[in-house]
Amino acid sequence: MLLHLGQSPTLVVSSVEAARKVLKTQDIAFVTRPFSTAAAALINGCRNVSFAPYDEHWRRKVQSLRRTREEEIALMIRKISSSPPLATVDLSGILYAFSNGLICRVVAGSCPAREVRTQRFQEAIDESTVMISGPRLEELFPSLAWVRRLPGADSRLMELAMKFDVLLDEIMTEHERRAGRREQAEEVDFLDHLLSADTAGDYAFSRDDLKAISLAMAELMKNPALMERTQKEVREVAGVRPTPTEDDVARMRYLRAVVKEVFRLHIPAPLLLPRESMEDTRVLGYDVPAGTRVFINAWAMATDPQWWEAPEDDFQFLPFGAARRMCPGINFALCMVELALAGLLYHFDWSLPADTAPEDLDMAVAPGIAIRRKAPLRLVAVPHSPSSAVLA
Protein backbone atom coordinates (compact mmCIF):
# COMPACT_ATOMS: atom_id res chain seq x y z
CA MET A 1 0.00 0.00 0.00
CA LEU A 2 1.53 3.33 -1.10
CA LEU A 3 0.36 6.45 0.70
CA HIS A 4 1.63 9.88 1.70
CA LEU A 5 2.35 10.92 5.28
CA GLY A 6 2.47 14.66 4.84
CA GLN A 7 4.86 15.22 1.93
CA SER A 8 6.66 11.90 2.43
CA PRO A 9 5.75 8.96 0.16
CA THR A 10 5.32 5.88 2.35
CA LEU A 11 5.08 2.20 1.39
CA VAL A 12 3.41 -0.20 3.85
CA VAL A 13 4.33 -3.84 3.22
CA SER A 14 1.81 -6.30 4.68
CA SER A 15 2.21 -9.41 2.52
CA VAL A 16 4.83 -12.12 2.48
CA GLU A 17 5.43 -11.68 -1.26
CA ALA A 18 6.13 -7.95 -0.93
CA ALA A 19 8.29 -8.48 2.16
CA ARG A 20 10.41 -10.99 0.24
CA LYS A 21 10.96 -8.40 -2.49
CA VAL A 22 11.87 -5.59 -0.08
CA LEU A 23 13.91 -7.57 2.45
CA LYS A 24 15.60 -10.13 0.19
CA THR A 25 15.40 -9.63 -3.57
CA GLN A 26 15.93 -5.83 -3.43
CA ASP A 27 17.41 -5.54 0.05
CA ILE A 28 20.24 -3.21 -1.00
CA ALA A 29 17.73 -0.71 -2.42
CA PHE A 30 15.87 -0.48 0.91
CA VAL A 31 18.78 -0.88 3.31
CA THR A 32 19.00 2.62 4.78
CA ARG A 33 16.89 4.38 7.43
CA PRO A 34 14.86 7.59 7.02
CA PHE A 35 16.20 10.55 9.00
CA SER A 36 14.72 10.97 12.48
CA THR A 37 15.15 14.30 14.25
CA ALA A 38 14.63 12.71 17.67
CA ALA A 39 17.05 9.85 17.00
CA ALA A 40 19.67 12.29 15.67
CA ALA A 41 19.45 14.37 18.86
CA LEU A 42 19.29 11.50 21.34
CA ILE A 43 21.40 8.74 19.78
CA ASN A 44 24.65 10.43 18.82
CA GLY A 45 23.57 11.68 15.40
CA CYS A 46 21.83 8.42 14.46
CA ARG A 47 25.02 6.41 15.00
CA ASN A 48 23.17 3.77 17.01
CA VAL A 49 23.04 0.37 15.23
CA SER A 50 19.25 0.48 14.88
CA PHE A 51 18.98 3.97 13.40
CA ALA A 52 22.31 4.33 11.60
CA PRO A 53 22.38 4.79 7.81
CA TYR A 54 23.98 1.99 5.83
CA ASP A 55 27.74 2.65 5.87
CA GLU A 56 30.98 1.31 7.32
CA HIS A 57 30.07 2.35 10.88
CA TRP A 58 26.92 0.21 10.82
CA ARG A 59 28.84 -2.92 9.83
CA ARG A 60 30.76 -3.16 13.13
CA LYS A 61 30.32 -6.41 15.01
CA VAL A 62 29.27 -6.68 18.64
CA GLN A 63 29.68 -9.26 21.39
CA SER A 64 27.94 -10.58 24.48
CA LEU A 65 29.11 -11.86 27.89
CA ARG A 66 27.83 -15.19 29.19
CA ARG A 67 29.03 -14.77 32.78
CA THR A 68 27.30 -11.42 33.12
CA ARG A 69 24.02 -12.81 31.82
CA GLU A 70 24.05 -15.67 34.31
CA GLU A 71 24.94 -13.41 37.25
CA GLU A 72 22.20 -10.91 36.44
CA ILE A 73 19.61 -13.70 36.22
CA ALA A 74 20.80 -15.04 39.60
CA LEU A 75 20.36 -11.54 41.05
CA MET A 76 16.81 -11.38 39.66
CA ILE A 77 15.97 -14.80 41.17
CA ARG A 78 17.26 -13.66 44.57
CA LYS A 79 15.13 -10.51 44.43
CA ILE A 80 12.00 -12.56 43.78
CA SER A 81 12.94 -15.05 46.52
CA SER A 82 13.30 -12.24 49.06
CA SER A 83 9.63 -11.28 48.76
CA PRO A 84 7.31 -12.36 51.62
CA PRO A 85 5.68 -15.81 51.27
CA LEU A 86 2.59 -15.83 49.04
CA ALA A 87 2.98 -12.09 48.39
CA THR A 88 2.11 -10.73 44.95
CA VAL A 89 5.25 -9.95 42.94
CA ASP A 90 5.39 -7.15 40.36
CA LEU A 91 7.08 -9.32 37.75
CA SER A 92 6.94 -6.58 35.11
CA GLY A 93 8.89 -4.22 37.37
CA ILE A 94 11.45 -6.87 38.29
CA LEU A 95 12.01 -7.82 34.64
CA TYR A 96 12.26 -4.15 33.70
CA ALA A 97 14.99 -3.60 36.30
CA PHE A 98 16.70 -6.83 35.21
CA SER A 99 16.89 -5.86 31.53
CA ASN A 100 18.09 -2.33 32.26
CA GLY A 101 20.64 -3.53 34.79
CA LEU A 102 21.92 -6.18 32.40
CA ILE A 103 22.41 -3.79 29.50
CA CYS A 104 24.02 -1.11 31.67
CA ARG A 105 26.38 -3.67 33.21
CA VAL A 106 27.40 -5.24 29.90
CA VAL A 107 28.13 -1.85 28.38
CA ALA A 108 29.48 0.05 31.38
CA GLY A 109 30.19 -2.52 34.10
CA SER A 110 29.30 -2.60 37.78
CA CYS A 111 29.68 0.42 40.04
CA PRO A 112 28.73 1.46 43.60
CA ALA A 113 26.04 3.80 42.22
CA ARG A 114 24.60 1.17 39.90
CA GLU A 115 20.99 1.24 41.21
CA VAL A 116 20.74 5.03 41.05
CA ARG A 117 22.40 5.21 37.64
CA THR A 118 20.20 2.46 36.22
CA GLN A 119 17.11 4.35 37.42
CA ARG A 120 18.35 7.54 35.74
CA PHE A 121 18.97 5.65 32.50
CA GLN A 122 15.56 4.02 32.73
CA GLU A 123 13.80 7.36 33.05
CA ALA A 124 15.77 8.86 30.15
CA ILE A 125 15.17 5.83 27.93
CA ASP A 126 11.42 5.89 28.63
CA GLU A 127 11.25 9.56 27.65
CA SER A 128 13.34 9.03 24.51
CA THR A 129 11.13 6.11 23.43
CA VAL A 130 8.10 8.39 23.47
CA MET A 131 9.92 11.00 21.37
CA ILE A 132 11.27 8.55 18.80
CA SER A 133 8.01 6.59 18.43
CA GLY A 134 6.33 9.09 16.10
CA PRO A 135 7.60 11.30 13.24
CA ARG A 136 7.90 15.04 13.82
CA LEU A 137 6.18 17.67 11.71
CA GLU A 138 9.28 18.56 9.66
CA GLU A 139 9.85 14.88 8.84
CA LEU A 140 6.41 14.57 7.29
CA PHE A 141 6.60 18.02 5.68
CA PRO A 142 10.24 18.67 4.71
CA SER A 143 9.28 22.14 3.48
CA LEU A 144 8.62 23.07 7.12
CA ALA A 145 12.13 22.20 8.29
CA TRP A 146 12.63 25.89 9.12
CA VAL A 147 10.44 25.50 12.23
CA ARG A 148 13.36 23.79 13.97
CA ARG A 149 15.21 27.12 13.93
CA LEU A 150 12.52 28.76 16.06
CA PRO A 151 13.55 29.43 19.69
CA GLY A 152 12.59 26.52 21.93
CA ALA A 153 11.50 24.23 19.07
CA ASP A 154 13.95 21.48 20.11
CA SER A 155 14.33 22.41 23.78
CA ARG A 156 12.85 19.15 25.12
CA LEU A 157 15.06 17.07 22.82
CA MET A 158 18.17 19.03 23.80
CA GLU A 159 17.42 18.70 27.51
CA LEU A 160 17.03 14.94 27.21
CA ALA A 161 20.15 14.65 25.07
CA MET A 162 22.03 16.53 27.80
CA LYS A 163 20.81 13.99 30.39
CA PHE A 164 22.31 11.17 28.33
CA ASP A 165 25.55 13.11 27.85
CA VAL A 166 25.92 13.72 31.60
CA LEU A 167 25.33 10.04 32.38
CA LEU A 168 27.77 8.86 29.73
CA ASP A 169 30.40 11.41 30.82
CA GLU A 170 30.16 10.06 34.38
CA ILE A 171 30.70 6.50 33.16
CA MET A 172 33.57 7.47 30.83
CA THR A 173 35.34 9.40 33.59
CA GLU A 174 34.98 6.49 35.98
CA HIS A 175 36.40 4.00 33.48
CA GLU A 176 39.30 6.25 32.48
CA ARG A 177 40.17 6.83 36.16
CA ARG A 178 40.41 3.13 36.94
CA ALA A 179 42.18 2.24 33.67
CA GLY A 180 45.49 0.55 34.32
CA ARG A 181 44.56 -0.30 37.92
CA ARG A 182 42.22 -3.17 37.07
CA GLU A 183 42.95 -6.56 38.52
CA GLN A 184 43.43 -9.30 35.93
CA ALA A 185 40.40 -11.28 37.18
CA GLU A 186 38.13 -8.23 37.34
CA GLU A 187 35.20 -8.08 34.97
CA VAL A 188 35.94 -6.28 31.69
CA ASP A 189 32.93 -4.62 30.08
CA PHE A 190 32.26 -3.41 26.56
CA LEU A 191 33.28 0.18 27.29
CA ASP A 192 36.69 -1.02 28.51
CA HIS A 193 37.24 -2.64 25.12
CA LEU A 194 36.21 0.56 23.33
CA LEU A 195 38.50 2.74 25.44
CA SER A 196 41.44 0.38 25.06
CA ALA A 197 40.94 0.38 21.29
CA ASP A 198 40.30 4.15 21.19
CA THR A 199 37.24 3.56 19.01
CA ALA A 200 33.48 4.11 19.18
CA GLY A 201 30.50 1.88 18.68
CA ASP A 202 27.38 0.58 20.30
CA TYR A 203 25.90 -2.62 21.64
CA ALA A 204 23.47 -4.35 19.35
CA PHE A 205 20.56 -5.32 21.52
CA SER A 206 17.55 -3.68 23.03
CA ARG A 207 15.69 -4.05 26.30
CA ASP A 208 12.49 -4.04 24.22
CA ASP A 209 13.28 -7.62 23.18
CA LEU A 210 13.53 -8.57 26.85
CA LYS A 211 9.97 -7.37 27.46
CA ALA A 212 9.04 -10.65 25.81
CA ILE A 213 9.80 -12.38 29.11
CA SER A 214 6.86 -10.63 30.78
CA LEU A 215 4.63 -11.41 27.78
CA ALA A 216 5.76 -15.06 27.83
CA MET A 217 4.90 -15.39 31.51
CA ALA A 218 1.49 -13.82 30.87
CA GLU A 219 0.76 -16.27 28.05
CA LEU A 220 1.82 -19.20 30.23
CA MET A 221 -0.39 -18.01 33.09
CA LYS A 222 -3.35 -17.85 30.69
CA ASN A 223 -2.64 -21.42 29.60
CA PRO A 224 -2.01 -23.62 32.69
CA ALA A 225 -1.49 -26.78 30.62
CA LEU A 226 1.18 -25.01 28.57
CA MET A 227 2.82 -23.74 31.76
CA GLU A 228 2.88 -27.25 33.23
CA ARG A 229 4.45 -28.80 30.13
CA THR A 230 7.07 -26.06 29.75
CA GLN A 231 7.98 -26.09 33.45
CA LYS A 232 8.27 -29.89 33.43
CA GLU A 233 10.75 -29.78 30.55
CA VAL A 234 12.83 -27.06 32.23
CA ARG A 235 13.13 -28.99 35.49
CA GLU A 236 13.80 -32.32 33.80
CA VAL A 237 16.57 -30.93 31.61
CA ALA A 238 18.20 -28.83 34.35
CA GLY A 239 17.98 -31.74 36.78
CA VAL A 240 19.80 -31.06 40.05
CA ARG A 241 21.82 -28.11 38.80
CA PRO A 242 21.69 -24.98 40.98
CA THR A 243 20.16 -23.12 38.04
CA PRO A 244 19.63 -23.74 34.30
CA THR A 245 22.64 -22.95 32.12
CA GLU A 246 22.79 -21.85 28.49
CA ASP A 247 23.81 -25.40 27.57
CA ASP A 248 20.67 -26.68 29.30
CA VAL A 249 18.47 -24.18 27.48
CA ALA A 250 19.86 -25.35 24.14
CA ARG A 251 18.22 -28.73 24.89
CA MET A 252 14.85 -27.26 25.96
CA ARG A 253 13.06 -27.59 22.63
CA TYR A 254 9.59 -26.90 23.97
CA LEU A 255 10.61 -23.79 25.91
CA ARG A 256 12.39 -22.40 22.85
CA ALA A 257 9.28 -23.06 20.77
CA VAL A 258 7.21 -21.16 23.36
CA VAL A 259 9.58 -18.18 23.10
CA LYS A 260 9.31 -18.16 19.30
CA GLU A 261 5.52 -18.26 19.54
CA VAL A 262 5.57 -15.33 21.97
CA PHE A 263 7.67 -13.33 19.51
CA ARG A 264 5.17 -14.20 16.78
CA LEU A 265 2.15 -13.11 18.81
CA HIS A 266 3.87 -10.11 20.39
CA ILE A 267 6.42 -8.83 17.87
CA PRO A 268 8.72 -6.36 19.69
CA ALA A 269 8.25 -3.73 16.96
CA PRO A 270 5.07 -4.61 15.00
CA LEU A 271 6.02 -2.34 12.07
CA LEU A 272 9.76 -2.95 12.53
CA LEU A 273 11.97 0.13 12.20
CA PRO A 274 11.25 2.02 8.97
CA ARG A 275 13.47 1.73 5.94
CA GLU A 276 13.95 4.12 3.05
CA SER A 277 14.50 3.39 -0.63
CA MET A 278 17.90 4.58 -1.84
CA GLU A 279 16.96 4.53 -5.53
CA ASP A 280 13.97 4.30 -7.86
CA THR A 281 12.78 0.70 -8.01
CA ARG A 282 9.74 -1.52 -8.57
CA VAL A 283 7.98 -3.83 -6.10
CA LEU A 284 5.43 -6.31 -7.45
CA GLY A 285 4.94 -4.16 -10.54
CA TYR A 286 4.55 -0.85 -8.65
CA ASP A 287 6.99 2.04 -9.02
CA VAL A 288 8.65 3.07 -5.76
CA PRO A 289 10.59 6.36 -6.02
CA ALA A 290 13.85 7.00 -4.19
CA GLY A 291 13.34 8.46 -0.74
CA THR A 292 10.16 6.48 -0.02
CA ARG A 293 9.71 5.41 3.59
CA VAL A 294 8.96 1.71 3.97
CA PHE A 295 7.13 0.13 6.91
CA ILE A 296 7.13 -3.68 7.16
CA ASN A 297 3.89 -4.80 8.82
CA ALA A 298 5.43 -7.84 10.50
CA TRP A 299 2.44 -8.23 12.80
CA ALA A 300 0.05 -8.70 9.87
CA MET A 301 2.24 -11.42 8.39
CA ALA A 302 2.73 -13.14 11.74
CA THR A 303 -1.03 -13.44 12.26
CA ASP A 304 -2.03 -14.29 8.67
CA PRO A 305 -3.57 -17.82 8.68
CA GLN A 306 -2.54 -18.24 5.05
CA TRP A 307 1.05 -18.59 6.21
CA TRP A 308 0.70 -20.11 9.63
CA GLU A 309 -0.86 -23.26 8.21
CA ALA A 310 2.57 -23.81 6.62
CA PRO A 311 5.05 -22.33 9.07
CA GLU A 312 8.06 -23.78 7.28
CA ASP A 313 7.65 -21.27 4.44
CA ASP A 314 9.98 -18.27 4.30
CA PHE A 315 9.35 -14.68 5.40
CA GLN A 316 6.31 -15.11 7.58
CA PHE A 317 8.23 -14.77 10.85
CA LEU A 318 9.98 -11.40 11.09
CA PRO A 319 10.15 -10.25 14.72
CA PHE A 320 13.78 -9.18 14.19
CA GLY A 321 13.58 -8.02 10.59
CA ALA A 322 15.64 -9.67 7.87
CA ALA A 323 18.71 -9.41 5.63
CA ARG A 324 21.27 -6.62 6.12
CA ARG A 325 19.16 -4.63 8.58
CA MET A 326 18.07 -7.59 10.67
CA CYS A 327 18.33 -6.78 14.37
CA PRO A 328 22.05 -7.35 15.15
CA GLY A 329 21.12 -8.34 18.70
CA ILE A 330 18.92 -11.30 17.70
CA ASN A 331 21.19 -13.93 19.26
CA PHE A 332 21.64 -11.94 22.48
CA ALA A 333 17.90 -11.26 22.77
CA LEU A 334 16.83 -14.86 22.18
CA CYS A 335 19.49 -16.18 24.54
CA MET A 336 18.47 -13.77 27.32
CA VAL A 337 14.73 -14.39 26.96
CA GLU A 338 15.16 -18.17 26.94
CA LEU A 339 17.63 -18.23 29.83
CA ALA A 340 15.64 -15.81 32.01
CA LEU A 341 12.36 -17.63 31.35
CA ALA A 342 13.99 -20.98 32.17
CA GLY A 343 15.28 -19.54 35.44
CA LEU A 344 11.86 -18.22 36.45
CA LEU A 345 10.18 -21.56 35.71
CA TYR A 346 12.89 -23.62 37.38
CA HIS A 347 13.10 -21.71 40.67
CA PHE A 348 9.43 -20.85 41.28
CA ASP A 349 5.90 -22.17 41.06
CA TRP A 350 3.72 -19.34 39.78
CA SER A 351 0.07 -18.47 40.33
CA LEU A 352 -2.25 -15.54 39.73
CA PRO A 353 -3.55 -13.40 42.60
CA ALA A 354 -6.63 -14.89 44.30
CA ASP A 355 -9.01 -12.46 42.61
CA THR A 356 -7.79 -13.19 39.04
CA ALA A 357 -8.74 -16.14 36.82
CA PRO A 358 -6.51 -17.15 33.87
CA GLU A 359 -9.18 -16.17 31.33
CA ASP A 360 -9.47 -12.72 32.95
CA LEU A 361 -5.77 -11.86 32.75
CA ASP A 362 -5.38 -8.50 30.98
CA MET A 363 -3.25 -8.99 27.84
CA ALA A 364 -3.66 -5.45 26.47
CA VAL A 365 -0.49 -3.81 25.14
CA ALA A 366 0.48 -0.15 25.05
CA PRO A 367 1.13 1.68 21.74
CA GLY A 368 4.58 2.86 20.75
CA ILE A 369 7.60 2.00 18.63
CA ALA A 370 7.99 -1.20 20.68
CA ILE A 371 5.32 -3.39 22.22
CA ARG A 372 4.89 -3.67 26.00
CA ARG A 373 2.20 -4.72 28.44
CA LYS A 374 -0.26 -1.97 29.30
CA ALA A 375 -0.70 -3.15 32.90
CA PRO A 376 2.04 -4.58 35.15
CA LEU A 377 2.06 -8.36 35.47
CA ARG A 378 1.53 -9.22 39.15
CA LEU A 379 1.98 -12.86 40.16
CA VAL A 380 2.52 -14.97 43.27
CA ALA A 381 5.90 -16.74 43.34
CA VAL A 382 6.50 -19.78 45.56
CA PRO A 383 10.12 -21.02 45.64
CA HIS A 384 10.47 -24.51 44.18
CA SER A 385 11.99 -26.91 46.72
CA PRO A 386 14.99 -28.21 44.69
CA SER A 387 16.30 -24.64 44.41
CA SER A 388 15.58 -23.46 47.94
CA ALA A 389 18.98 -24.51 49.26
CA VAL A 390 20.75 -22.63 46.50
CA LEU A 391 18.86 -19.41 47.16
CA ALA A 392 19.29 -19.47 50.92
Known binding site for heme: residues? Answer: 327
**Size (the chain), residues:** 392
Binding site residue list: 327
C-alpha distances (whole Å) from 198 to each of 106, 191, 256 are: 18, 10, 39
C-alpha distances (whole Å) from 228 to each of 223, 232, 235, 293, 350 are: 9, 6, 11, 45, 10
Asked if residue 340 lies in contact with residue 357, where contact means CB atoms within 8 angstroms, the answer is no
DSSP 24-60: IITGGGG-B----HHHHHHTTTTTSTTT--SSTGGG-
CB atoms within 10 A of CB 72: 21
**Nearest Cα to Cα of residue 273 among 57, 41, 45, 36:** 36
352 vs 80: CA distance, rounded Å: 15
Strand partners of residue 288: 281
**Nearest Cα to Cα of residue 382 among 359, 360, 352, 357:** 352
